[in-house]
Structure 1
Amino acid sequence: MSVLKRFVQDTAVYGLATVLPRVMSIILIGLHTDVLGNRSYADNTSFYVGATFLNVLLSFGMETAFFRFFSKSQNKQRVYSTVLIAITTVSLIAFVLLWFLKTPITTALLLPPQYYTYLLGITILDALVVAPFAYLRAQGKALRFAGIKIANLFVYVVLNFFFLWTIPKYNLQFEWFDPENLVRYIFIANLAASAVTILIILPDFLKTKLIFDRQIFKQLWDYGWPVLVAGLAFAINENLDKLLLGDLLDKNIMGAYAGCYKLAVFMTIFIQAFRLGAEPFFFNHASEKNAPQTYATILKYFVVVGAAGLLIIISFIDFFKVILIRNDSYYIAIGIVPAVLLANLFLGIYHNLSIWYKLTDKTRYGMYFSIVGAGITIVINIVFIPIVGFMAAAYATLVAYGSMMLISYFIGQKHYKIPYNLTRIGSYLIIAILFSGLSFYVFRENYLVSVILLAVFGALVLKLENKELKRILLKK
């Protein structure tokens, strides 16, 4: 089997674990925006912004460091055991410390304090499974990984529908149920799902021979701490806009913005599935002679699929919006979608390009790039949100990720040369952006024109890539 075909197959399995939760999240977007007003949806957004920051802190770069050292270590079990003990210890200590930081954290997040216990429980439980999940990916056990993720999803979705739809619809009477505080039950469903995940993966804890190797941990930490800083900067890039909208404008606008931001979920699915399969693949094949050419080919087809996704979603955005968000009070922010989608595509390209500093153990560059992006995000949001409104937040994300992508490429080529086909990649991006702009701003809801533009883009790709695609698919 060719290397690229194996990569595609692994990514497809990880994609299953990603796509199903995201498909369910698409359904839940409709449920949540139906039953929650904009302010309650803003609380839901603040909650998960907080979870994002805490998840980055509690994993402190160990997941990426694990893949790097696991792939080249002679004693793989010792690497895994060290990471498992480190994350578990930090999580338990953090639980105690974070308990006493309730007031400053909830104030910073614009989150009602009553939800803090759920936030803390979910993030601690999720941190405890970081190492076992990374171990499954590194061993190529994609099916078990996907199975556990799907079990987590099942519990979460079922409880969401039970709390938010079944009980109100059939007027079921429970003394503990508060119909005026429905957002609380989203967090309870998530906490239950995280607890189930811990129970399923518990055997991976029990059968592991626990050995903490200080020398290995030092190497992991030296590699991982820049990843931690980069992760925090990325969390700022991805989430600060929502908090600032709530602070500088109001929570109703914040909720509408966050709801429409979810329309980029299709691009997020693709990027996340790619990352789950790509990170261990890139490390495992780094020693092969043709690795740089393989990485270049993967990026080209990543851009092809991502650009096609961009064009499809933007061309049919008015179709998708009524399926995902039926509450039209959220539509005031629909104009952010093209910028947010393109920003996410730039982010996906950046993740692909980032392989150079991970393979050369120069993860500090990832930290630098993310800090640059965070700086751009902060400045544009603070300066322009009071002037332009919520569109400033979307453009800040686009400029930040676009800048990170370009800087990473130019610096990366000096440290780890990869023969990217910039002519093809640039052409696909420019054409997709041009066609998307025509569909959204000139031929809005004219689906005949949208189909023609998609057909032209697809025909161009097939004409240019036909020979290479045949060679890859037919190669054993």
Structure 2
Amino acid sequence: MAGIKSLAKDTAVYGLSSIIGRFLNWCLVPLYVYLFPSQEYGVVTYLYGATAVALVILNYGMETGFFRFANKDKDPESVYTTSLLSVGATSLLFILLLTFFLNPVSQALKLPHHPLYVWIMGVTVAIDAYSNIPFAYLRYKNKAWRFAGIKLLNVGFNIGLNLFFLLLCPVIMRHYPPAISWFYEPCGGESFGIGWIFVANIISTLLVFICLLPELTGRRYVFRPDLLKRMLSYSWPLLILGVAGILSQNMGQLVIPYLFPADEEAARSMVGIYGANMKIAIVMVMFTQAFRYAYEPFIFAQAKGDGEDKSRAYCDAMKYFVIFGLLIFLGVMYFLPILKHFIAPGYWSGLRVVPIMMMAELCFGVFFNLSLWYKLTDKTQWGMYFSLICFVLMFGLNVWLVPAIGIPDGYLGSAWAALISYFIVMVMSYLAGRRYYPLPYETKRMGSYLLFAVALYAGGMYVENIMGMWLTYAVRIVLLLIYVGVVCTFENVPVLSPIFRRLLRR
């Protein structure tokens, strides 16, 4: 239980940067969707999806490889510097190749008229890839607060720059042009539009790099080719896993433009609507990411021990992840009528994807939890197999469902493709794990919590049809408290459990 408490504490701290940071970035979505039509916002969503894939490729599994070898090698500092030199070299090579082949890359991405956008985001993602190694080092050293502080600084700076470029600069240009015309007009001024979003991103990324200099300087750099070979042998399946996984996560945004070549504007509009509504479901993604930041160092640290306590810690981590994931699902869905106002009314047609994507992300989170068996047994090729299967399923279902539904609601096919694919690989990983690294997961209890949450969700949706708005919210709050009370009672949560038991007796 001490390990779970430590995991919970670290998850909370990492969540401070992940959840608060993403929430603040989430608050930019209303700015974007009110300033730009869905076709232009679709370009932003599409390009961010493409750079997410590039980030995984440029990291090629070295983040997880660093944790694995830093915990088992006698010289963890050389593991760190070897990782830095390797990722740094490949990131620099990526920037050079992108610069040289910018036009063909832009055409391949269906952005032939926006090569500058592609170059800016390419350089940004290369710096991000390199920065991920010192961020991993902070997690390895349990410096969660420094990690969170830098992440939040990045978010705050990015938001400030977005507000400055998109809102303040046009006002300054109208009233006092000399103050900013020296840089604003050469870039295109207000007509540069969504380009300022990418400019804000690269500046804030450079700031993060500067903040990480203490983790990059003042140390003796040692490059160990033999160690790198072993790390790459361990990590290359994770690269395939990561690429297939990130392609799966962004499949809708990436594939839709290619499925409707005769109507590119409508396709970009669907990508924009889909991406904007996924920002509502991103609460589940934030929770999963915060958990992931704490979980990888946790499982490799626990692996040094042995016995029942280690297995119990892994199983408890899974159970509490499901419990909190279901609570987040209920909270978001109960208050969706309020949350939808974060996006413009023109995007509300896509609200139907929110519950589907919330459950899809919950399945993906469980799948990530299950990944510990092949990471701890060094059978990382299994992660590659699962991710490739997920990718094939996701691609095939998108190609089938999206055109079948057609314009303008084809993005619903992408949402269902995500849920079906994640559910299948989740089950497959669980069954394989039972053979190679069996753990006594409390599947019956987690299944009971799932059925209970589904029943509460159905009840919360039903009352909307028979009650007024405020009474509906009051009932939904009570239903949330019932969920918390039942969980606390069955899990014997200190302090809370006795309170809820007394209430139940009454």
TM above 0.5 = yes
Q: Spell out, residue by residue over 1:91-117, the C-alpha distance to the aligned partner (whole angstroms, 9 max, x if none).
A: 111211222332343334333323122
Following the alignment from structure 1 to structure 2, what is the Cα–Cα distance between the partners of residues 364 and 469?
44
Residue 319 of structure 2 is matched in structure 1 by 300
Q: Give the conservation status (yes or no) of the 8 Å contact 2:50–2:254.
A: no
**Residue in structure 1 matched with residue 257 of structure 2 by the alignment:** 246
- Equivalent residue letter for 1:192: I
One-letter amino acid of the structure 1 residue matched with residue 444 of structure 2: T
The one-letter amino acid of 1:465's match is E
Amino acid at match of 1:189: A
Matched, 1:436 2:457: yes
**Matches of 1:339 and 1:109, distance apart in 2:** 28
Q: Aligned pair 1:361/2:378, yes or no?
A: yes
Q: 1:225 aligns with which of 220, 236, 256?
A: 236
Asked if residue 122 in structure 1 is aligned to residue 124 in structure 2, the reply is yes
SS across alignment from 2:29: helix
Q: Does 1:65 align with 2:82?
A: no
Letter in 2 for 1:74: K
2:397 aligned with 1:397: no
| TM-score normalised per structure 1 | 0.94
- Paired amino acid for 1:463: T
Q: Is the 8 A contact 1:11 1:274 kept in 2?
A: yes
Say which SS state the counterpart of residue 443 (structure 1) adopts.
helix
SS in 1 for 2:78: helix
1:234 and 2:236 matched: no
Select 2:139's aligned residue among 129, 137, 140. Answer: 137
1:205 paired residue number = 216
Root mean square deviation of aligned Cα:
1.9
Residues 4, 344 of structure 1: alpha-carbon distance in 2 compared, 3 angstrom cutoff: same
For 2:13, the equivalent position in structure 1 comes to 13
1:382-405 Cα deviation digits (max 9, x unpaired): 011111222111000101111111
Which residue of 1 is the match for residue 349 of structure 2? Answer: 332
Greater alpha carbon shift after TM alignment, 58-67 vs 46-55: 46-55
Q: CA deviation at 1:166?
A: 2.0
Is the contact made by 2:238 and 2:383 (CA closer than 8 Å) also made in structure 1?
A: yes
Does structure 2 conserve the Cα–Cα contact (< 8 Å) formed by 1:62 and 1:220? yes
SS of match in other structure, 1:4: helix
TM-fit CA distance, 1:119: 1.2
2:491 to 445, 459, 465: 465
Worse-superposed segment, 99-108 or 125-134: 99-108
Counterparts of residues 148-297 of structure 1 (less than 5 Å): 148-168=150-170, 171=174, 173=177, 174-175=180-181, 176-177=184-185, 178-249=189-260, 250-288=267-305, 289=307, 290-297=309-316
The equivalent residue for 1:474 is: none
SS in 1 for 2:191: coil
Does the 8 Å CA contact 1:46/1:110 hold for their aligned counterparts?
no
Among the aligned pairs, what percent are the same residue?
A: 33
Counterpart position of 1:341: 358
| CA offset digits 1:411-431 (Å, max 9, x no partner) | 011111111100111111222
**Shift in CA distance, 469/88, structure 1 to aligned 2, threshold 3 Å:** farther
Quote how far apart the aligned CAs of 1:189 are.
0.6
SS in structure 1 of the partner of residue 352 of structure 2 = helix
- Unpaired stretches in structure 1, ≥5 consecutive residues: 472-476
TM-score, with structure 2 as normaliser? 0.89
Question: How far, CA to CA, are the matches of 1:89 and 1:259 in structure 2?
Answer: 35
| Worse overlay, 181-190 or 248-257 | 248-257
Could you tell me how far 1:437 is from its partner in structure 2? 4.2
The AA in structure 1 aligned to 2:222 is: I
Structure 1 segment 43-82 matched on structure 2, within 5 A: 43-82=43-82
Could you tell me how far apart the structure 1 residues matched to 2:485 and 2:231 are? 47
How far, CA to CA, are the matches of 2:425 and 2:109 in structure 1?
Answer: 26
Match runs of 1:375-390 below 5 Å: 375-388=392-405, 389-390=410-411
Kept in 2: contact 1:109–1:243 (CA 8 A): no
Q: Deviations over 1:212-259 (max 9, x none)?
A: 111111110011000000111011111121122233341112111110
Q: In the alignment, is the contact (CA less than 8 A) between 1:66 and 1:79 conserved in 2? A: yes
Gapped regions of structure 2 (runs ≥ 5): 261-266, 498-506
SS at match of 2:290: helix
Aligned residue number for residue 406 of structure 1: 427
Partner residue, 2:34 = 34
Cα distance in 2 between the residues matched to 1:152 and 1:68: 28
CA separation in 1, counterparts of 2:496 and 2:87?
Answer: 45
1:119-160 per-position Cα deviation (integer Å, ceiling 9, x unaligned): 121011112212111111101111221222122122111101
1:204 positional shift: 2.1
CA contact (8 A) 1:46 1:109 kept: no
- Is this contact kept in 1: 2:46–2:271, CA < 8 A? no
User: For the Cα contact (< 8 Å) 2:98–2:119, is it kept in 1?
Assistant: no
| Alignment partners' CA distance in 2, 1:438 and 1:96 | 56
Alignment coverage as a number of residue pairs:
469
Supply the distance in 1 between the matched residues of 2:192 and 2:350 (Cα, whole angstroms).
25
Q: Secondary structure at the match of 1:179?
A: helix
Q: 2: distance between equivalents of 1:225 and 1:17?
A: 29
In 2, distance between residues paired with 1:434 and 1:395?
21
Matches within 5 A, 1:421-432: 421-432=442-453
Structure 1 184/210 Cα, relative in aligned 2: closer, same or farther at 3 Å?
same
Partner Cα separation in structure 1 for residue 485 and residue 148 of structure 2:
34
User: SS at the partner of 1:129?
Assistant: helix
What are the residue-to-residue correspondences of 1:64-103 with 2, within 5 Å?
Answer: 64-103=64-103
The higher radius of gyration belongs to 2
Conserved in 1, the CA contact under 8 Å of 2:251 and 2:395? yes
The 1-side partners of 2:375 and 2:138 are apart by 20
User: Which is further off, 32-41 or 435-444?
Assistant: 435-444
d(CA) in 1 for partners of 2:110, 2:27? 26
